Chain A
Amino acid sequence: MGTKAMEAFVSNETALFMNKHPPHVFKPMSLPSIIVKLTLGLLWCIIHLSISLFSLCYHLICNLEYYLISSGLLPKYRNLQLERVKYLAIVVDSREANNAVKLKQLLCWLSTIGVKHVCLYDIDGAIKKYFEPGMNGSGDGSSADSLDVNANTKALHCCHGEMSIECISGCDGKEGIAKAANLLCSMYFNGDKYTHGVDKSELVFTEADMASALKSIGYGGPEPDLLLVYGPARCHLGFPAWRLRYTEIMHMGQLKSMKYGALVKAFYNFSKKYQNYALPTLLLHS
């Protein structure tokens, strides 16, 4: 970019900025200021009300589409290609994580669609508590080895077939990483490469070391191909970082208003997206 052009642009813009009052300067509220503030507030409310109305219309149209998808009237959604969804993750907002009925329904739908391995996550661990009685590891040793699942996994016969369900929570995220860090540091200090006051080896832990440490203390697990967020906003809510690196994240809305057609559409969109994705994502790319 031409530097002169950038300078001209900035000089034009910053002349306006320099006249702006610093935000921390307290200004007594005069009547005109109050009127201006009320006007701004009114305009702000009108803008957001308009957006809400637009959003409502959009949701109604989407619901119609989901109904058509559920009824099988849209041909392109009839044959889903699920080969690349080897592992699915679901993040549920903590306020809805206690909704066992909806969770079971969701799992049933996933089973119907053909998903074999699901990871359920909520930050507070409510889902884990709900499924806890059955958590004794996967019954099928071979599938457990290939998936590298942990003790949070249970095999569930759900609706139309076997499905493995892993339940994790916020403590599997940052706290799990802290525990792995603890393990690495302990191994370093207690190992023969370090004695009191004498450092015999260079201290360098790599990402691979962290991954191994996480796995050894039970916080490993496969990286989901797709993560569906059920909640008011598209936030991952602390899903374990080592398992979220290249996962596609889609927002599904709230659990209480979930639709089967929305699930099908999400998988369809993922299958289309995955065609353009071969390796870990690179930035500044085409």
Chain B
Amino acid sequence: MLDSLISQDLKMEKEKQPDEIVTTGVLESLQNFIRKCIVAVLSYGPMPRHIAFIMDGNRRYAKSRSIKEGAGHRVGFSALMASLLYCYEMGVKYITVYAFSIDNFKRDPTEVQTLMELMEEKINELLENRNVINKVNCKINFWGNLGMLSEPVRLAAQKLMASTAGNAGLVLSVCMPYNSTSEIANAVNELCAERRDMMQREHAGSSNGRAAGSGAHSDISVADLDRHMYTAGCPDPDIVIRTSGETRLSNFLLWQTTFSHLQNPEPLWPEFSWRHLVWAILQYQRVYPYIEQNRIQAKKQL
């Protein structure tokens, strides 16, 4: 399925003969049926609720296919849309993708500009063609320091978030521009501001001439910080997949991935397909008892 999308990006579409269309339709129906059967078997075991992707390898893909770098990112976007639908088919409720790191701003300005333009284009496409989002009832979040984005991209992202806020289906969280330590620092800022506001209310409320108390607030706890993370209300990722075989997390969801199964399949992100996703879930199911036991033990200790 993804190959057909890629071919439409990269090659001229040939005119199809009617019998070719029928054959293609029959093959696709057969593919869909087989896929549904495999998903049904897979779903007998524990399925992940939340999968996080580090979409690595777009430029390497472009280089290997001798196409422009921008085309590699475009194919990467196609892969993202395809993975979104495959995850939806498998009952995965939350998907988080690492689209742009804060560190990426240090790259060549031309490349950064190209990426920003691509993001703006794709966000506006999703806004214009709402059928795509509405059909899968997708709620889209943008996590990160949105103030670092250029205004058109930021406004488009905010508009897309607002327009999908009421959707109750699959939740797609796009991290851009993001890094985990920045998220934690942001959570500390919000928590501190919350306590400052409480103290200011206490001070304003002391109307009997008594000196306002220093505010005997309890120490900041891990749960307090959890409430102010971008991922508040979202379960921790069950699987973190970084494509292209790289083994680093690159400052992605470090707070939330204590018990996440970290996987690093070899295919580049544009090559990541349904079968790779099935394999990822099978690997997760093999270690699920261990991970679940750890999670339960950690909860008991809290």
When A10-B135, A184-B192, A246-B251 are in contact, do A286 and B59 touch as well, CB less than 8 Å?
yes
Shortest Cβ distance from residue B294 to the other chain A in the assembled complex, whole angstroms: 7
> For the complex, what is the distance from the CA of A279 to the CA of B78, rounded to whole Å?
28
Q: Interface-forming stretch among A138-146, A150-158, A201-209? A: A201-209
On whether the beta carbons of A210 and B185 are closer than 8 Å, the reply is yes
Q: Interface-forming stretch among A1-9, A79-87, A99-107? A: A1-9
> For the complex, what is the distance from the CA of A234 to the CA of B249, rounded to whole Å?
12
On whether the beta carbons of B262 and A234 are closer than 8 Å, the reply is yes
Q: Could you tell me which residues of chain B, from 17 to 51, have a CB within 8 Å of some CB in chain A?
A: 28, 32, 36, 40-45
Shortest Cβ distance from residue A233 to the other chain B in the assembled complex, whole angstroms: 4
On whether the beta carbons of B248 and A207 are closer than 8 Å, the reply is no
Which of B42, B106, B187, B222 lies at the interface centre, i.e. has the most chain A CB atoms within 10 A of its CB?
B222
> For the complex, what is the distance from the CA of A10 to the CA of B86, rounded to whole Å?
11
On whether the beta carbons of A181 and B56 are closer than 8 Å, the reply is no
On whether the beta carbons of B193 and A203 are closer than 8 Å, the reply is yes
Q: Could you tell me which residues of chain A, from 220 to 263, have a CB within 8 Å of some CB in chain B?
A: 231-238, 241-242, 244-251
Interface size on B, residues (CB 8 A): 102
> For the complex, what is the distance from the CA of A90 to the CA of B291, rounded to whole Å?
19
Q: Is A199 among interface residues, defined by CB-CB distance under 8 A? A: yes
On whether the beta carbons of B5 and A5 are closer than 8 Å, the reply is yes
Q: Is A177 among interface residues, defined by CB-CB distance under 8 A? A: yes
When A282-B104, A282-B107, A284-B76 are in contact, do A188 and B136 touch as well, CB less than 8 Å?
no
On whether the beta carbons of B287 and A284 are closer than 8 Å, the reply is no
Chain B contacts for A2, CB-based, 8 A? 8-9
B positions within 8 Å CB-CB of A: 1, 4-5, 8-9, 28, 32, 36, 40-45, 54-56, 58-60, 62-63, 69, 73-78, 81-82, 85, 88-89, 91, 98-101, 103-104, 106-107, 115, 125, 128-129, 131-132, 135-136, 179-182, 184-185, 187-189, 191-193, 195-196, 199-200, 203-204, 212, 214-215, 219-222, 224-225, 246-251, 254-255, 257-263, 282, 285-287, 290-291, 294, 297-298
